[in-house]
Amino acid sequence: MNTQEIANKLVEACRTGKSHEMQTELYSENAVSWEQEGGNFDVKTEGLAGIRKKGEQWQSMVEEIHSSEISDPIVAGNHFSCRMAYEVTMKNVGKIQMEEIAVYEVNDGKIVSERFFYPTAPQK
Amino acid sequence: MNTQEIANKLVEACRTGKSHEMQTELYSENAVSWEQEGGNFDVKTEGLAGIRKKGEQWQSMVEEIHSSEISDPIVAGNHFSCRMAYEVTMKNVGKIQMEEIAVYEVNDGKIVSERFFYPTAPQK
C-alpha cells in the first residue's frame, strides 16, 4: 500500500473504532510512537507491542467515549496528518474535550512512526 | 489571534510567497524550528533570528521555484498542520519535486514551534 492508501485505511479504522485491530496490518513491528513532553505517557514508545500497551493504558483511563471526529488525512510524500477530536469521560476526571494533530510516517508499506501534538501547558 | 486565524494567515502568506514578511507578526521571538534528522538543515533551530537565517540558507540553494501548493490547514487545539509541495530547480542539483507535512504550535497568539516531515532515507 502507498501512503494515501494506508492513510485512508487508518482513518477509516479510527472512525469505526477499529484502529487497534488494524495495527497488525498497518504498523511495522518496530514502529515508534511519540507523545508530547509533560503529558500522561512516555515521550517515546518503541515497538508495536509497546504501542499496544499504551493503547490499553489509555483505554483503562477512559470511562466513556461520547463522540469522536477524525478528519480526512492530508498526505505529503511518505507522511500523512489528520485531526482527531474526542469527547470523553475520563475516570476520576470527568468529561473533557480533546483535540490533537497526528502525524504518521510510512516506509515499505507500513507505518513506522506516529506522533501526536496537543497542549500540555496552560494556554495563554 | 487564535490558532485558526494564525493558520489561515500563514497559509495565505505561503501561497503568495510572503511567509518571510509575515514572520515578525506571526512568530514568537523564541520560536523553535525542527527538521528531520539526516536532512540539509540542523535538526533544531532556536529563535526567530535563526529561523530567518535558515530561510536565507534555503533561498541561496534554490535557483527557481516553478510552482508551489499549500493545502488548507487542519486545526486541533493549539496546533495546525498543512501539506506543502514545491517544484523547484536547486542549484547544482536540477529540478526536483518536494512534499512535506508541516506542524505548527501556537501559544499566546504566536507560533512557538514549526516542525517539518519529509523523507530523508531511500523509500522502499
Measuring CA to CA, which residue among B51, B62, B105, B124 is closest to residue A28?
B124
Q: CB distance B121–A107 less than 8 Å?
A: yes
> Which range of residues forms the domain containing residue A62?
3-117
Ramachandran area for residue B102 (φ above 0: left; ψ -120 to 50: alpha; else beta): beta
> What does B1-28 look like in DSSP terms, one character per residue?
--HHHHHHHHHHHHHTT-HHHHHHHHEE
3-state helix, strand, coil in chain B (%, to 5): 30, 45, 25
pLDDT at B39: 83
Residue appearing with cell numbers 501547558:
A121
Q: Return the residue of A nearest to B84 by Cα.
A: A76
Tens of pLDDT, residues B47-89:
999 999 999 999 999 999 999 999 999 999 999 999 999 999 9
pLDDT at A124: 61
pLDDT at B123: 62
Q: Do the domain assignments include residue A122?
A: no
Q: Give the count of domains, chain B.
A: 1
Residue A91 three-state SS: coil
pLDDT band at A122 (very low <50, low <70, confident <90, very high): low
For the whole model, what pTM was predicted? 0.94
| Mutation target among B4, B68, B78, B106 for the A interface, most CBs of A within 10 A | B78
pLDDT at A20: 85
pLDDT band at A19 (very low <50, low <70, confident <90, very high): confident
Of B78, B81, B108, the CB nearest to A81: B81
Q: Do the domain assignments include residue B75?
A: yes
**Which CATH number covers residue B16?**
3.10.450.50
- Contact list in A for residue B123 (CB cut-off 8 A) is 78, 107-108
Q: Do the domain assignments include residue B122?
A: no
Tens of pLDDT, residues A29-53:
999 999 999 888 899 999 999 999 9
Does residue A123 carry a pLDDT above 70?
no
A-B interface: how many C-beta pairs under 8 angstroms? 81
